[in-house]
């Protein structure tokens, strides 16, 4: 078990998973084995033991692969949530720097009203109040989040804190504008994709079900269709709605975080 590491501790911390490499690997293996056992029992109830064992192996491997991906997915989503409010937080910070508020006061102001970014700033403020320097608190913040834009912003903030400048807030303001410009570009790209997503959703939610029903009604009059009443009911009430839900989930997954409510 000691030799099996499914995720590095650094990646787990960035994902906000409070487990060691060993603990995460043990849990992933345990749940994968449970998933495999359930798959074997379920399939064996319907078919032969060889098929059941193959399904168990597939279920176990799938469980391991999903476990490896989970920290990567979570840390990426976490970074997007932080970046969602970063531009507005930087804009506010640039104003407060220009009016010469202390860094401690600015950080406390940023720890409110900016979603996930404020949540992470609160951690940095607590570290600073516990004895860490402002540089250490901010650096630890940037290490917890897998975001290049955040790291760049924190680096600029630390530089201003250490060296100062006549227009303290101007570099921060430029970073905020750059982030807003990037978000605007992402929004335009997503709008273009939405046209395709809308067409796919309309086809899957309206056209294909209508064609299926027409096929069943018309085809049954002159062809021997191997569809029972229960099959048709399950297809129309479960399969088609499930496909629609999958499409909607994919659309939401592709939606930029800053466009979500």
pLDDT tens per residue across span 71-113: 888 888 888 989 999 999 999 999 998 888 888 899 999 998 8
In the chain, how long is the greatest CA-to-CA distance? 85
Phi, psi angle pair for 104, to nearest 5°: -60, -45
| Residue-level pLDDT at 163 | 79
Tell me the pLDDT band of 222, cut-offs 50, 70 and 90. Answer: low
| Residue-level pLDDT at 34 | 92
pLDDT tens per residue across span 228-243: 777 778 888 888 899 8
> Chain-wide mean pLDDT for the chain?
86
| Residue-level pLDDT at 127 | 92
Res. 19: pLDDT tops 70: yes
pLDDT tens per residue across span 113-172: 898 999 999 999 999 999 989 999 999 998 889 888 899 999 988 988 887 666 678 888
Res. 188: pLDDT tops 80: yes
| Residue-level pLDDT at 86 | 92
**Alpha-carbon span 236 to 23, nearest angstrom:** 44
Res. 219: pLDDT tops 90: no
Res. 1: pLDDT tops 50: no
- For tokens 């220009």, name the residue: 98
Res. 59: pLDDT tops 50: yes
Q: What is the full DSSP assignment across the chain? A: -TT--SS-HHHHHHTT----HHHHHHHHHHHHHHHHHHHHHHHHTTS-HHHHHHHHHHHHHHHHHHHHHHHHHHHHHHHHHHHHHHHHHHHHHHHHHHTT--HHHHHHHHTSSSHHHHHHHHHHHHHHHTT--HHHHHHHHHHHS--HHHHHHHHHHHHHHHH--TTTHHHHHHHHHHHHHHHHHHHHHHHHHHHHHHHHHHIIIIIHHHHHHHHHHHHHHHS-----HHHHHHIIIIIHHHHHHHHHHHHHHHS-GGG--
| Residue-level pLDDT at 154 | 92
Mean pLDDT of 9-25: 82
| Residue-level pLDDT at 225 | 64
Share of the chain above pLDDT 70, in %: 93
Of 108-112, 185-189, 204-208, 224-228, the one with minimum mean pLDDT is 224-228
- Considering only CA atoms, which of 79, 106, 86, 84 is closest in space to residue 95? 106
pTM of the model: 0.74
Res. 260: pLDDT tops 80: no
């Amino acid at each position: 078990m000691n030799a099996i590491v499914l995720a590095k501790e650094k990646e787990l911390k960035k994902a906000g998973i409070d487990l060691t490499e060993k603990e995460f690997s043990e849990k992933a293996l345990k749940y994968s084995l449970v998933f495999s056992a359930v798959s074997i029992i379920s399939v064996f109830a319907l078919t032969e033991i060889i098929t059941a064992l193959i399904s168990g192996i597939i279920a176990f491997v799938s469980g391991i692969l999903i476990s490896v991906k989970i920290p990567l997915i979570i840390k990426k989503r976490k970074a997007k949530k932080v970046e969602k409010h970063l531009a507005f937080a930087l804009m506010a910070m640039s104003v407060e720097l220009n009016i010469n508020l202390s860094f401690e006061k600015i950080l406390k102001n940023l720890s409110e009203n900016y979603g996930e970014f404020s949540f992470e700033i609160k951690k940095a403020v607590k570290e600073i109040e516990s004895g860490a320097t402002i540089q250490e608190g901010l650096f630890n913040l940037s290490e917890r989040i897998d975001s290049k834009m955040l790291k760049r912003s924190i680096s600029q903030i630390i530089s201003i804190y250490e060296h100062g400048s006549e227009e303290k807030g101007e570099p921060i303001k430029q970073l905020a504008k750059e982030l807003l410009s990037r978000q605007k570009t992402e929004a335009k790209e997503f709008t273009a994709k939405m046209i395709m997503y809308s067409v796919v959703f309309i086809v899957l939610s309206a056209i294909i079900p209508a064609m299926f029903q027409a096929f069943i009604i018309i085809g049954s009059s002159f062809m021997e269709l191997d569809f029972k009443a229960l099959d048709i009911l399950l297809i129309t009430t479960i399969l088609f709605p499930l496909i629609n839900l999958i499409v909607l989930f994919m659309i939401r997954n592709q939606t930029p975080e800053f466009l979500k409510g």
